[in-house]
Each structure stands twice: as C-alpha cells, then as structure tokens.
Amino acid sequence: MKYIIDTDPGHDDFFAILYAIRRLDVVGLTTVFGNSTVDNTTQNALRICDLAQSDVPVAIGAGKPIVGDFVVSAIHGNDGLQGGKSIPQTERKADPRSAVEFLIEMGRAHAGSLSLIVLGPMTNIALALRIEPKLADWISEISFMGGATATGNVAAFAEANVWKDPEAAQMVLSSGIPLRMAGLNLTNQARLSQTQVDQLANAGTKIGQHASEILAFYLKQHSARYTHPDGPMHDPCAVISLVHPELFKFRDTAVSVELASPQLRGMTICDMREIAPFPGEVLPEPNVKVGVQLDGPACVDAMIEAILEYR
C-alpha cells in the first residue's frame, strides 16, 4: 500500500510525518491551512522532509475552507512549528502540481493501492472528489485525525480539524470511501510527557534534539491551555493504527457533521448506540471505523522508537 499524507504541520504533524516516512511507503505530502497558513504549513512540510532526508513531493493545497475563513491554532505558535527554530530552513521547492491535481493523478496511477492519511482539515480531499468523483473508488482507505465522540477542543463539541472546514469533512464522510477515525476521545489516551522530551534530547541525534525542542514547546502550550503537565499525541495515532492495529480498538459507527446549528457547527455526530431497530425502523448505516481505545504507552513507545532510528 502507498500513502499520501495530507497535513498542516503542526507539532503533532511533525511526529506523525517522521513516523510515517520511517514505517510506510509515503509517496507524497499535500498541505492545507489549519494549524497555520498554507504558506507556513508548506514550508514546515518541506523542512520536515529535508530533516528526514526524504525526497517525496510536497504539493500545496487549499488556503481556506470551502465556506468562510479560518483562525490559526494558537497552540502551535506563530508559524505552526514554533519551538522548532533550530530545524534548518530549506531551499527545496514545492511540487508544481496543486494538491488536488496531485491527489487525482496519484489516485489514478495507484488505484486500489493508495490510502490517505489526513491530519488537518479535509478541504483538499473534498475539492479533489468534487473535480474527480472516481477518486472515491481509487482510494483504498482514509485514516484521519479529527472529530470526537463527545467533548471537542476548539469548541465544546467540535474538534479543530473538522470545525475549520465542516462542509469538506461532511463531503468526505459521505463519499463511500472506507474511513478510519482517530478522534479526540482516542488520541487523548496517548500522552507525551517530559520523559519523552528528555529521551529525545539525550539520544545524541540531530532529529532527536529537534524533536525534543518541538515537543517541549508543545507541552508548554498545552499545559497553559489545559492545565495538564503532559499532552496528547493526536496526529501520530492516525498513522500508528495503520502499522500497529493490534494496539487499537475500533467500532463501526454512523458519523456525520453538523453544519446548520451555530452552537454545534463542526460537531461530529457519532451514533454510538448499541441497539437493534424496531420493526420498520431504519437506523443510520455505519460509514466510519471510529477509534475507541488504544494502548497509550505502547503507542508512545512506538513513535519514539521510530524517531530515534533517524541518524
């Protein structure tokens, strides 16, 4: 299986990308707005690929949602990777194709053997599906970090990636593509702490040092926001579940996105009821494998192990 990572780096994207390049056959990255502007997230993606000594193409994607505008995620600082100033800048340029063009071309070329890992708003995928509906048949699966079965983060019931472009998320959820969801209810079970900062800093590698600085800033920001000394490993969970499915439990669930209510806009409505229909009653059909449980320490160990392999 080949993979494209659609991403808005982002501190947790940093770790997810490095892990994925080490463990999977990644054939490209597409960037999107979200944790910062698309110009910043693209530069961050290029810098991360250089750091990993990976020459995979990076294609620039959407700079705003399908409807309205967006606000960058303050928890990631001014440029999306604040705290990573020591990561070298790059002279490398983005791919001449747009993210939508890249997704469609790669989908056509690798039909049936291409999966997507989506770590930001789903705008690029929704726009690609609008232009080429056959893409839904070409993609084997989408593993995405987004949504939540209950409590949100950017709003009471909305998670940031879905909230920043709920129309795009609903288009993808209703596309018929097999979907695997790593929502906040799952990713909050995998926690990073000062122990990991020290482990990375003491590894004696450049990537370990960069990773420790990135993680230290992220934990500081997260602690200020949520008053916890550790922080959740959001985006890597969407990747690790592909490599170590034995560490995760998923439930087939009907999921949709609320678009109309001002108070609930961006909420992922997950029908977690365990019920049988009454005669004549039609229940929503499951369309997403929703992550409900993971082995947090084992997931953290798996990610750190992959980062420490870089020399």
Residue pointed to by tokens 């940031």 = 160
Please state, in angstroms and rounded to a whole number, the distance separating the CA atoms of residues 304 and 67: 38
**59: CB partners within 8 A, 6+ apart:** 28, 29, 30, 31, 94, 95, 97, 98, 99, 101, 102
Query: Is 8 a residue of the active site?
Result: yes
Half-sphere exposure for 200 (CA within 13 Å, toward CB): 26
Among candidate residues 6, 8, 12, 165, the one labeled active-site is: 8
β-strands 248-257, 58-59 pairing: unpaired
Residue 304 structure tokens: 């750190």
β-strands 139-145, 114-118 pairing: parallel
Please state, in angstroms and rounded to a whole number, the distance separating the CA atoms of residues 228 and 208: 24
Is there a contact between 238 and 291 (Cβ–Cβ < 8 Å)? Answer: no
Tell me the catalytic residues: 8
